Amino acid sequence: MSTRKWVLVGMVVGLGCFVFSGVATAQDAPQVELQVGDTAPRFEGTDEMGKSWTLNDRIGKKFIVVYFYPADFTTGCTRQAEAWRDNMNALVDADIEVVGISGDSVENHKLFKDVWKLNFSLLADEEAEIPEQFGVPVRRGGRSRPRGPDRQPLLDESGEPLVLERNATFVRWTFVIGKDGKIAYKNTKVNPLKDSEQVLAFIQSVQASEE
């Protein structure tokens, strides 16, 4: 998708809506089955600003939360991102860095982050290379028609309703990578509203046991 100016309708802090292009179909079952205690894949990606984000640069410094989600601007994904955003002070205090990953483009991520004022990185993985390393199931891509808080469509520069496309849709899984570079936590049945609180409670319990 080419870089364009986006015109936001009304306020830009509400829930978006989402429409699939066709029915998503699961691809072949992933071959990787990471378990707690396994060494985390040393992946790298591109964030919403087009900059490189590398796990190796962060190992040993903080707990790294890697959460895979289906798409920018879906209701569930928006609420999940809001919860991470709103809990960020407590997460930072607990020595945690958060990164979200979906099959959306850099441009989609930038819009999503700007609209929702997100305070953590989003990685664009249009070829679904990172979820494959973690064993996260991937489905066919789709299209989003995001809306603002007033439930009016976001418009492009020509005044037409904005349509976002993505190549792949990831299942919602969350991992925590410990400072030792190993998988410390894995959740394949993520509740988007409770994800950040559950991860924070887990890491705080780990830290308390180490004192």
Q: Which residues are catalytic?
A: 77
129: helix, strand or coil = helix
Determine phi and psi for 58, rounding to 5 degrees: -115, -20
For residues 121 and 133, what is the distance between their CA atoms, to the nearest angstrom? 19
For residues 205 and 198, what is the distance between their CA atoms, to the nearest angstrom? 11
How far is it between the farthest Cα atoms of the chain?
58
For residues 133 and 73, what is the distance between their CA atoms, to the nearest angstrom? 25
